[in-house]
Amino acid sequence: MRTTLLILAAFPLAVLYCLIIHALGADAMVLRAGISQFEEQTGVSLRFERIDVNLDSVGVRGLRVDLPADAPLRVAAESLEFEPFARRIVLGQTALSYKDAIVLAKGAFRLDRRAGRVALSIPPSSCRDLIKITPSTTRSQLEGVALSGRLTVDVDVAYDEDDIDSTDVSVAYQNGCDIVSLGHVPPPSRYRGPFTYRAYNADRERFDKTTGPSTSSWTPLEDISPYLKHAVVAEEDTLFYRHDGMVVSRFGTALKHNLKASSFRFGASTITMQLAKNLFLERSKTIGRKLQEIFFTWYLERYFTKDEILELYLNVIEFGPNVYGVGPASQHYFGRPASRLNLIESVFLVKLLPSPSTRHRYYETGRISADFRAKMHSLLRKLVEGGRISVDEYHLALAEPLRFHHPGEPPVSPRLTTMTQREILEAASPYSKKSRPRLAEIRYPAGLFVSERDQAARVVKSGQL
C-alpha cells in the first residue's frame, strides 16, 4: 500500500501542476493530458468540480482524490488555492478517511519563508481504523497491533520565522484507545528480565546490547543516588510524575527552538518518549517515526509504573562512547557505584545526556569548559529553585571539586561519605548562626554527600553559605 505521506505530498503538487497549466492559458485538452499523465504514473485519480482563475489567485474547488484499489483511504478537499502575489498556498478543509476514522486538515502556507497556520483535527474516530491511515513505515513496527476505543485530537499551529516569538501551538486530545493485541510488539514482561536492544558504538554503528534486571550492568532504582534521580527529572522532564507520557505545552517551545536553529533539533520529548526511542526506534527524524514514538510512549505509560520507566531509562541511555546505563557510567567516570554519586557528580552525568559522545572529551582531558560548568551550575540552580535540594547543598556542591577516575588509578580520594543533617548543623554552628534555622528546616531524606565533614565547616566559615 502506498504510504499516506506520499499521497498527501503528491496531492497538492499534482493540483498545483494543473493550476499552473491552466493559468498559463493551456486549453482543456492540455490540462486533461497533464492530469492523465499524473494518474498513469501514480495510480491516483484526480477529480474536481471547477477551476477558478482570478486576478490574484487560481484555485480548485471540490477536489477529490481516488486512490488505487488496494488503498482503502479516501481524500477530499473543499479547495486548494495558489496566490502568486501573496506568495501563499491556502488549503481548504481536507479530509483523509478510512472506514470509521477521519483526519481533517486545513491551513495557509507562505512560499517565500517558513510561515503559516495549520489546523489538524481527528473527530471521535476508531482507534482500530486510525492505524490504517498512518504511513506504511509506521505500520511495519506495529504489525499485528489491534486497538479498540476512540480517539479525539485537535491541533492548531501558527508559525513565522520572521516573528518566532509569535509561534503558537495548541494541542488537545482525549485518548480512549485500548490495546486488544500487541501483535509483534514485545510484551512488557520482556523488560522485567534480561533483554537486548539496539545501541550505537563509538563509530555510531548499531549493535545488540544486553541488559536488564539481574545482569551485571543493571542498577535498580533504589541503588541510584537520589541526587541523580532528582537531577535527571529536573533537567529532562520536570512533570514526569504528573503527565501521561507527553507534555503538549512543550510542542510550542520546541517549534520556536527549531525555527531559531533552522533545523529539527528539538523534539519536546519527555523521559518516557526518550525511553521509547532508545528501546524501539532508530534515530531518524521523520513523521512516521514520530508516530511510532507516540505509540510506544503510550505503551510504556500503560504497562509500566513511573519508577519502572525511570529505572529503564537510566539503565539504557548513553553516557559516553560505549557507556550505556548509569551503573557503568558511574564506574567509568568516578570509579564508584551509582549509589555513591554526590550532587556535583550527578549533575555532571545528567548534563552529558544531550551529546554524551561529544562531551566525553571533558573526561578524556580532565578539564571542563567554562560553558559546560555554567550549564552544570544552571542545573544546580534549577534543583534548588525547585526545592529538590537545599540552599546549603547547592553551595556545598559548588565548592565540591569534580575528580574523574581512570582505569588503573586508585579510587578517587577522598572517598565520599554521607553527612547527615545533624552533622551539617554541628559543622555550621561555630560559624554562622543564620544558617542554623535555615538548615533546621531542610529535610535530607538521602543525606548529603561531601568529601569530609570539615569541608562543610570551611565552606560555612568562608561565607559561602
Instruction: Give the pLDDT confidence of 412-428 residue by residue, as tens digits.
Output: 654 444 444 444 444 44
Report, as an integer, the average pLDDT of 80-95.
87
Digit-coded pLDDT (tens) for 31-41: 566 667 666 76
Q: Domain count for the chain, please give it.
A: 2
Q: What is the mean pLDDT of residues 214-243?
A: 95
Cα dihedral sign, 212-213-219-220? positive
Q: Looking at the domain assignment, is residue 186 inside a domain?
A: no
Which pLDDT score is estimated for 256? Answer: 67
CB-CB neighbours of 153 under 10 Å:
18
The reply to whether 341 and 369 lie within a common domain is yes
Same domain, 259 and 120: no
Shared-domain flag, residues 259 and 111: no
With contact defined as beta carbons under 8 Å apart, do 167 and 266 qualify?
no
In a domain, 384, yes or no: yes
HSE (CB half, 13 Å, CA atoms) of 250?
16
Burial of 113 (C-beta count, 10 Å sphere; 0-12/13-18/19+)? exposed
433 and 319 assigned to the same domain: yes
Q: What is the pTM of this model?
A: 0.77
The pLDDT of residue 457 is above 90: no
Give the structural domain span for 36. 4-181
Residues 119 and 32 occupy one common structural domain: yes
Q: Residue 360 corresponds to which cell in the numbers above?
A: 566525553
Mean pLDDT computed over 39-47: 70
Instruction: Answer yes or no: is 170 within a domain.
Output: yes
Indicate whether 297 and 397 sit together in one domain: yes
In a domain, 103, yes or no: yes
Average pLDDT, the chain: 79
> In this predicted model, which residue has the larger pLDDT, 305 or 44?
305
**Spatial contact of 218 and 325, defined as CB atoms under 8 Å apart:** yes
Q: Which residue among 181, 212, 228 closes a domain?
A: 181
Q: What is the mean pLDDT of residues 365-389?
A: 94
CA dist., res. 336 & res. 219, Å (int): 12
| 106 and 38 in a common domain | yes
Q: Which of 135, 161, 181 marks a domain boundary?
A: 181
Question: Do 238 and 319 belong together in one domain?
Answer: yes
Q: Encode pLDDT of 154-200 as tens digits.
A: 988 888 888 888 888 888 889 999 999 999 999 999 999 999 999 88
- For 409-444, letters b (16+ CB in 10 Å) and e give eeebeeebeebebebbbebbeebeeebeeebeeeeb
Percent of the chain with pLDDT over 70: 72
pLDDT for res 455: 45
d(CA 87, CA 230): 49
Longest dimension (CA), the chain: 97
In a domain, 187, yes or no: no
Q: Are residues 198 and 170 in the same domain?
A: no
349 domain-assigned: yes
Q: Do 238 and 386 fall within a single domain?
A: yes
CATH number for the domain that contains residue 407:
1.10.3810.10
In a domain, 406, yes or no: yes
State which of 158, 181, 204 marks the end of a domain: 181
Shared domain for 170 and 218, answered yes or no, is no
Lowest mean pLDDT among 243-247, 368-372, 417-421, 433-437: 433-437
* Same domain? 286 vs 171: no
Determine, yes or no, domain membership for 32: yes
79-108 b/e (C-beta count within 10 Å ≥ 16 → b): bbbbbeeeebbbbbebbbbbeebbbbbbbb
Confidence class for position 68, pLDDT limits 50, 70, 90: low
